[in-house]
């Protein structure tokens, strides 16, 4: 079948592609749930069952996850551009299938670290491709809305799984019962992706045919002068340092997951040391991704109306305020407020950052640009785990949280100073 005949039946837009878009939202929720099964349980498992010496050793599973996910993100976009979106999505699910079993039967901490290498590959490939496919489907005017739905589904599922596994662990123990949920999620995700998800490469070809210039317009950054194919090295340079909007987004993404890596590893222990039960710890851990997930349903759409830059900068400053409240809090209520504020700030920044990448990048190298952004963003998990673990071992948990709060605030100021507004309507 010729490209012309395929393009003749392809339409861009959320309403025009709603069934497939909704399916991809559901698939990404399953991707998020697979990582959410670890949020409450693994830090407590490291302390109580494996008796690891020090916070840095405990956070090695996040380091392994973050590095692997970052590398998988980098290649996911390029592979999706070259071989199609759906094959990469299926490969991601195949990496995810063994993860719950490894966590259930792990005799040593090394098994847990290896499970998180596979989990990083799963998240890097599957989540990246669902992001790219939604951008493909909706076209240039609704990217923020699309990313809002995508990230809301993913992180809403992270919250639900974190809360559910905390409740399960309180009654049935830290292993194996909490990880049965992950087995069900991985099997369902692979089945839906194989049987019902459709390739979106035709939508990319259609948009390329319609678009005479990148959506951000000629007044934007140097990236917008590149209407055709670029090499991977050129895209990496643009997204890392040459294009100030793309590079500001990349550093902001890294810092967003730096504070997320710290929260993932240290918050369950921080709250448990205050004497809270595992179920209550699970609830507190779930608040931030729950607010983050629901909030993105609104912030993604708002960025399509108001623009990207100030939602990103304001979101990071809000995250920093939430971390400060948690660090100085001494009760469930105060910690819940801080967690909600932390989640609200992330909701403002997270989908908006990805949408800004889509604004600047040309469709022919959009997948690669998203991959480079997500490389830097998810290296933040590893950086945050190393930094937070070292600070907690040398000083205290509170010190680690305060330093990460300061870094997050500085990142928001960098966005305010360096990033240009990227939305084509603004």
- CATH dotted code for 12-210+218-418: 1.20.1250.20
Position 292 confidence tier, pLDDT thresholds 50, 70, 90: confident
pLDDT averaged over the chain? 88
DSSP string across 320-337:
HHHHHHHHH--SHHHHHH
Render pLDDT for 101-129 as a digit per residue (tens, 0 to 9): 999 999 999 999 999 999 999 999 999 89
Q: Where are the domains positioned within the chain?
A: 12-210+218-418
SS3 (DSSP) at 242: helix
Arithmetic mean of pLDDT, 273-289? 92
Q: What is the 3-state secondary structure (H, E, C) of 395-410?
A: CCHHHHHHHHHHHHHH
| Closest by Cα among 44, 58, 35, 42 to 276 | 44
Contacts of 352 (CB under 8 A, 6+ apart): 144, 147, 299, 300, 303, 308, 311, 312, 315
Q: Report the range out of 6-10, 285-289, 359-363 with the highest average pLDDT.
A: 285-289
**Over 50: is that where the pLDDT of 421 sits?**
yes
pLDDT reported for residue 74:
84
DSSP state of 212: S
Arithmetic mean of pLDDT, 166-178? 93
**Over 50: is that where the pLDDT of 141 sits?**
yes
Distance of CA 141 to the CA centre of its chain: 22
Q: Are 34 and 189 in contact, with CB atoms under 8 Å apart?
A: yes
Arithmetic mean of pLDDT, 10-35? 90
pLDDT reported for residue 212:
52
Distance (Å, whole) CA 322 – CA 412 = 14
**Over 70: is that where the pLDDT of 185 sits?**
yes
| Closest by Cα among 295, 355, 344 to 131 | 355
């Amino acid at each position: 079948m010729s490209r012309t005949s395929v393009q003749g039946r392809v339409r861009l837009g959320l309403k025009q592609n709603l069934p497939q878009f909704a399916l991809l939202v559901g698939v990404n929720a399953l991707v998020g749930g697979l990582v959410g099964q670890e949020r409450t349980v693994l830090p407590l498992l490291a302390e109580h069952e494996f008796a690891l010496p020090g916070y840095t050793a405990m956070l090695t599973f996040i380091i392994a996850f973050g590095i692997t996910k970052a590398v998988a993100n980098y290649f996911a976009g390029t592979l999706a551009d070259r071989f199609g979106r759906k094959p990469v999505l299926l490969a991601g699910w195949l990496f995810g299938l063994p993860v719950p079993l490894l966590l259930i039967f792990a005799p040593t901490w090394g098994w847990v670290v290896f499970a998180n290498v596979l989990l990083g590959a799963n998240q890097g490939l599957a989540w990246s491709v669902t992001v790219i496919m939604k951008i493909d489907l909706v076209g240039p005017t609704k990217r923020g809305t699309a990313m809002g739905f995508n990230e809301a589904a993913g992180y809403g599922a992270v919250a639900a799984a974190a809360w559910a596994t905390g409740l399960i662990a309180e009654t049935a123990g830290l292993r194996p019962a909490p990880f049965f949920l992950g087995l069900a999620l991985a099997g369902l995700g692979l089945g839906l992706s194989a049987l019902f998800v459709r390739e979106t490469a035709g939508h990319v070809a259609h948009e390329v045919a319609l678009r005479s210039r990148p959506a951000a317009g000629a007044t934007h950054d140097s990236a917008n002068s590149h209407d055709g194919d670029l090499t991977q090295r050129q895209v990496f340079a643009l997204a890392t340092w040459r294009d100030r909007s793309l590079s500001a987004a990349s550093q902001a993404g890294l810092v967003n997951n730096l504070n997320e890596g710290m929260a993932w590893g240290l918050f369950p222990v921080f709250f448990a040391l205050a004497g809270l039960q595992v179920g209550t710890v699970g609830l507190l851990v779930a608040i931030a991704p729950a607010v983050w997930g629901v909030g993105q349903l609104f912030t993604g759409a708002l960025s399509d109306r108001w623009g990207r830059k100030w939602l990103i900068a304001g979101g990071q400053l809000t995250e920093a305020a939430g971390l400060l409240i948690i660090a100085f809090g001494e009760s469930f209520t105060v910690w819940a407020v801080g967690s909600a504020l932390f989640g609200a700030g992330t909701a403002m920044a997270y989908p908006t950052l990805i949408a800004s990448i889509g604004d600047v990048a040309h469709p022919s190298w959009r997948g690669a640009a998203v991959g480079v952004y997500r490389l830097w963003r998810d290296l933040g998990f590893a950086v945050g785990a190393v930094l937070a673990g070292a600070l907690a071992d040398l000083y205290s948990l509170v010190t680690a949280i305060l330093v990460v709060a300061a870094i997050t605030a500085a990142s928001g100021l960098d966005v305010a100073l360096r990033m240009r507004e990227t939305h084509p309507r603004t």
